[in-house]
Amino acid sequence: MIKIEVGLEEIINILYEDGYFALAHGTGRNGDGKDIIKSIFEKGLRTKDNSLYYTTIGLDKLNVDNLKTKLDNWPHLNSERIILIRIPLEYINIYGDSADLDGEKYGAFMVSRQEGNKEVNYLNPKFILGSYDRETKLVTLNPTFEKELSEETKEELAHNYKKVLEKFKARIERQSEALKTISKVTDSDTLHDGLVFDYDPSKEDINDFMNRN
C-alpha cells in the first residue's frame, strides 16, 4: 500500500464537502495502530453492535485549527489515530432508529461479514478518507476512498438503501401490531389472559418470584 500523508488543510474541504456527513473513530490505543489502520483501509471499519452510531462520533463543520484541536483531544481513551469518514447524506435513512439499530440508519454504507455464528457490519472502506495521526499531525490517505462515487458504488448504495428501508418498514409494522394488541388490553375492562402477571406480593417474596424458571 502506497502511503500518502497530507496536512488537515489539504483534505478539510473534501471531508466537509456539501452533501456529505463527516464522522470519526479513534483507534491505535495498544501500540498496534499501523496494522489496524492497514486492515481498516482494506476491509473496512468493524462496527460496535452493528451500529455506526456506537462506533463513531459526528464531526461538526470546523475550521482547520478547531478540527485539529478536536482530533488531538479525542475523547475515546487515548486514541493515537483517528479514522476520518465521509458518507453521502442522500443514503442515510433519516427515519431509522437514531442509534442505528442493526444498521437501520446507516446500513447502506455497510458490508456484512459472517464471524462465527453472527453477522457483523463493517463500514465500507470506500467511505474512509484516511487516518489522522495525533503525533505527526498528518493524515494518511486511504487509497480505497472514493472522492467521486463510482457508478458501481452508487448502485450498491441504492441497493443497500432499499434493504435498509425494507428492514425499517418491517420493524414499524411489528410495532404497529404490538400497539394494536396493547390498545385492546388497555381499552378493555379486564386484562388479556396472556398479559396477566401472577405475582401477588402478599403471597411471595419478590426475589423468589424473579428467580423462578
Burial 136-166, CB ≥16 within 10 A → b, else e: eebbbbbebbbeeeeeeeeebbeebbeebbe
Q: Is residue 93 part of a domain?
A: yes
Q: Is residue 157 part of a domain?
A: yes
Q: Is residue 60 part of a domain?
A: yes
Q: Is residue 206 part of a domain?
A: no
Domain that includes residue 57, residue range? 5-171
Q: Is residue 204 part of a domain?
A: no
Q: Is residue 65 part of a domain?
A: yes
The three-state DSSP-derived secondary structure of 109-178 is HEEEEEECCEEEEEECHHHEEEEEECCCCEEEECCCCCCCCCHHHHHHHHHHHHHHHHHHHHHHHHHHHH
The predicted pLDDT at position 194 comes to 52
Our CA angle for 62, 81, 152, nearest 5°, is 75
Q: Is residue 212 part of a domain?
A: no
Count of domains for the chain: 1
Between 107 and 177, the higher pLDDT residue: 107
pLDDT tens, 41-96? 999 999 999 999 999 999 999 999 999 999 999 987 678 999 999 999 999 999 99
Q: Is residue 19 part of a domain?
A: yes
- pTM for this prediction: 0.82
